[in-house]
Amino acid sequence: MEQVLVVDDDTTVRDVVRRYLEHAGYAVELAGDGEQALRLLAAKEPDIVVLDLMLPGMDGLEVCRRIRERGSTPVVMLTALGEEEDRIAGLQIGADDYVTKPFSPRELALRVSSVLRRAHRAFEPRVVRDGNLVLDVAAHTATLDGRPLQLTTREFDLLAFFIGNAGKAFGRSELLERVWGWQFGDQSTVTVHVRRLREKIEEDPAKPRRLSTVWGVGYRYDPCSTD
Q: What is the pLDDT of residue 83?
A: 66
Least confident interval from 39-43, 57-61, 124-128: 124-128
| 183 vs 73: CA distance, rounded Å | 25
The pLDDT score that the predictor gives to residue 225 is: 60
Residue type at 57 in one-letter notation: G
Tens digit of each residue's pLDDT (9 = 90 or more) over 148-163: 999 988 899 999 999 9
The pLDDT value recorded for residue 76 is 93
Report pLDDT for 120: 64
Q: Could you report the per-residue pLDDT of 86-143, keeping only the tens digit for each?
A: 778 888 888 888 888 888 888 898 889 888 887 765 445 478 888 899 998 878 889 9
CB 30 within 8 A of CB 18: yes
What are 134's strand-pairing partners?
129, 143
Cross-sheet strand order for the sheet of 147-148: 127-130, 133-136, 141-144, 147-148
Higher pLDDT, 216 or 124: 216
Q: CA 103 → CA 63, 115, 197, 221, distances in Å?
A: 21, 17, 29, 35
- 122-127 long-range Cβ contacts below 8 angstroms, 24+ apart: none
Confidence of residue 191 (pLDDT cuts 50, 70, 90): very high
The answer to whether residue 175 scores a pLDDT higher than 50 is yes
